[in-house]
Amino acid sequence: MDQKWISVFLLFSAVCGVSPYVPHRYHFVNQSTTWTEAQSYCRQTYTDLATINNMYEMKKVNDTLKGKGRDYVWIGLDHGDTGKWGWSLGDGNFDTVGDSYQNWSIGEPNNPGGKEFCVAMYNQNGTWLDVECGDKYRFVCLDGKNNYYRYRLMKGMISLFSESGIIGSYGVLCDLMCFRF
């Protein structure tokens, strides 16, 4: 199987810290389930239901859904026990009046009848709406595994890290992250 490597060069300040952002990979699952069943499947097979934190991730999800129909899909946003909208993955707070990324359809979330605590995304335009968690839709999973190697600049030297530890050190002038897709 061919593996494509995309190199992303990131120049940092004089301290040259490590970038906190690693792009997510998304997987479409062509099986209609409830939100809870979709969450369980994604957690067993990948990492969790899709989390969308910015426009780049929204584009990645839309690309994943191209040619998959014009219906709704589950994403990992729900109203949970906290009384606030939050991502299933728990990697940050989501507040409809906050500054986090959101893509609600006009008039959403509206929770008519007080029973809509999960979020589906309309495949055609990527907008979100609150729906009943017992409805059945296909879904998108997030694969949060580290599919990258990271190089870190340290006083003119970099070290190559993988999930198993340091691989080696080399001289270079910038931070480099290589992503495997």
Q: Chain-wide mean pLDDT for the chain?
A: 74
Question: Which amino acid is located at 111 in the chain?
Answer: N
Q: Which residue has the higher pLDDT, 80 or 146?
A: 80
Write the CB contacts of 83 (distance below 8 Å, at least 6 apart in sequence).
none
Residue intervals in the chain for CATH 3.10.100.10: 25-143
pTM for the predicted model, two decimal places: 0.67
Q: Lowest-pLDDT range, 21-35, 112-126, 159-173?
A: 159-173
* 25-143 fold: Mannose-Binding Protein A; Chain A (3.10.100)
